Chain A
Amino acid sequence: MRPFEYVRAVDAGQAVALVSADPDTSYLAGGTTQLDLMKDGVLRPARLVDVTRLPLSGVTSTGSAIRVGATTTMEELAADPVVIERLPFIREALLLGASTQLRNLATIGGNLLQRARCRYFRDPAVEACNKRDPGSGCAAITGFARMHAILGTSDHCIALHASDVAVPLVALDSVVHVQGVDGPRGIPLTEFYRPPGDTPHIENVLRHGELITAVEVPLLPEGARSHYLKVRDRVSYEFALTSAGAALVIQDGLITSARVALGGVGTLPWRSWEAERVLRDAPATRETFRAAADAALEGARTLPGTAFKVDLAKRTLVRTLETIAGARA
């Protein structure tokens, strides 16, 4: 690992000023992505600014939303009473991710900014990776692709966004609150990530040095039911092959409100407005759920190694919606 200087931030303004002023300085939260990639030699900052002692931890409720401080850990958020009561699919997504030991370190801000799990990206011995080294090519497209994306891809990168909790968060229209040298701003999570296009090294709309301070998550309406389903190669402690997070309000057999997002398939946490359109005002039947799943995957672009994901993602979404509908009946 390249030597670096460690700075413990005591004040958000100081942290923002330090990181913004220097492209070689990065934030450090739980470290479960940052230190991992520094050990691999993928990230090589000269200085780390530790944000975990900033007063950014904890969950507050406003009645119609919760505000999750950026350094709240995954375990802490999963244990929050409002999350358990009103946003159960967030809890499900959190507890199906990583392990307890990692969730006690990993923060919500860091989770949203976790980096690609693409093996070629994580191995600097591989030359071709546009995300790591812009313009060098993509070893996954010409090589072995499996844990890769089928939605939102480009000819330059097919890396997946592997966060579980970002799936329900994007379905809920959460807002990321950030602080920069020019002051604070709020960014809808649906507009936070950038598809790879021809600049896969740019993953989101944050400016260097902007600090995530909180994530605001609107509560589901009364009567809504939600579910997060994760399908993987082993039963526990593994990234998703496919996943779905959905919330429905069903009245007299009719879907009056629907929120749907997919994981394991997109270069970003994949909100499916297409599926939502099919579901809204339709009867809560298997036919409707199938039509929604077809609509969600319509734009999929696959490689031989990822072709299996189309059917798997559809079935994952249908099962998720059926589980929600069944739980209500």
Chain B
Amino acid sequence: MEVTLNVNGSAHPLRLDARVTLLDALRDHLGLTGAKKGCDQGACGACTVLLDGRRVVACLTLAAQCEEREVTTIEALSEEGTPHPVQAAFARHDAFQCGYCTPGQIMSAVALLAEGRAGSEEEIREFMSGNLCRCGAYPNIRKAIRDVAEEG
């Protein structure tokens, strides 16, 4: 079927099987491999992207469902090579080990800050719980997010 996806500000007409998820469309058809495939079942958050500004798991969304919606991926965060404040904070705080969960963590954190849910350690812990990190980098992930939240 014909599906036009609006990703990071530009429209991409695609021919896709109806089964293609937003995640697979991004990775396999648009070459945007920032969003990662961890579980492919909505459980790990590695595939987190923004849909109309809200964070969602791209693996449980059909690409066809995203027509006329604005998709934002990690590739759009930095401006002209300058990292987004959340990206910079993750680097500063060493908020990763293998890095596989990191794009999802960062997209989730960007949304978390916009939702106003980074007010305390507990709040961050609760509202970031949809992003798992096998390497257990959680303490530094939380530090990075607190840092950005406090900078305002």
Q: How far is the CB of B26 from chain A (nearest CB, A)?
A: 15
- Contact status B125-A236, CB under 8 Å: yes
The interface residues of chain A lying within 8 Å CB-to-CB of B91 are none
Rounded to whole angstroms, the CA-CA distance of A36 and B44 in the bound complex is 13
The interface residues of chain B lying within 8 Å CB-to-CB of A52 are 65
Let me know if A31 is at the binding interface, CB within 8 A.
yes
Chain A 24-41 against B: per-residue CB contact (8 Å), 1 yes, 0 no? 000010111001100110
Let me know if B51 is at the binding interface, CB within 8 A.
yes
Determine the interface band of chain B, counting residues with CB < 8 A from chain A.
20 to 34
The interface residues of chain A lying within 8 Å CB-to-CB of B102 are none
- Contact status B42-A36, CB under 8 Å: yes
Rounded to whole angstroms, the CA-CA distance of A75 and B115 in the bound complex is 11
The interface residues of chain B lying within 8 Å CB-to-CB of A98 are 130
- Contact status A100-B108, CB under 8 Å: yes
Let me know if B41 is at the binding interface, CB within 8 A.
yes
Number of residues of chain A lying within 8 A (CB) of chain B = 28
Interface contact tally, CB-CB below 8 A: 80
Let me know if A222 is at the binding interface, CB within 8 A.
no
- Contact status B56-A236, CB under 8 Å: no
> For residue A98, which residue of chain B has the nearest CB?
B130
Given A6-B1, A75-B54, are A102 and B130 neighbors across the interface (CB < 8 Å)?
yes
Q: How far is the CB of B130 from chain A (nearest CB, A)?
A: 2
> For residue B112, which residue of chain A has the nearest CB?
A100
> For residue B63, which residue of chain A has the nearest CB?
A6
Q: How far is the CB of B94 from chain A (nearest CB, A)?
A: 24
- Contact status A3-B55, CB under 8 Å: no
The interface residues of chain A lying within 8 Å CB-to-CB of B61 are 31, 35, 105
Rounded to whole angstroms, the CA-CA distance of A5 and B1 in the bound complex is 9
Chain A 3-28 against B: per-residue CB contact (8 Å), 1 yes, 0 no? 11110100000000000000000001
A positions within 8 Å CB-CB of B: 1, 3-6, 8, 28, 30-32, 35-36, 39-40, 48, 50, 52, 75, 98-102, 104-105, 235-237
Q: List 24 A-B contacts (CB under 8 A).
A: A1-B19, A3-B17, A4-B19, A8-B64, A28-B65, A31-B65, A32-B60, A35-B61, A36-B42, A48-B62, A98-B130, A99-B130, A100-B108, A100-B112, A100-B115, A101-B108, A102-B57, A104-B55, A104-B56, A105-B60, A236-B126, A236-B129, A237-B129, A237-B130
